[in-house]
Structure 1
């Protein structure tokens, strides 16, 4: 099985991020967004890559990339916002 995602299919990732943002702003709880991304990714993979198992697997990979591109920077920003622990001794 050969999964070939070209630059044209890779542009589905920012489109998925935008759609997920819209769904999140519409009121869906954020914990369900990865599940929405999975279904959306599979659907887009089947439509744009092909109605084959390779298209479905590529859709799962597209969804994982979309969720990762969202959660990675978010986690970094959350870590940077935390105040450092003061390890100096108080006397």
Structure 2
């Protein structure tokens, strides 16, 4: 567990994440942005509070809606030998 203080950063309030947390999130390790600047994290509300992750929850939901390989949608009005437009 980490206890972080909220600081004023310009006109905003923010927290500074410890190096260990940045390593666990795998942010700030790129050569172009050695301090983690430009990396994206997502904060989601949970039943217990909030969750910080590098995975986009909307992308995860979209991937779950893709049908598995081998299961194509069935089309009722398909004619054999006619290519769709």
User: TM-score, structure 2 length as denominator?
Assistant: 0.28
**Higher fraction of strand:** 2
Pick the structure with more helix per residue: 1
Q: Which has the higher contact order (CA 8 A, sep 6+)?
A: 1
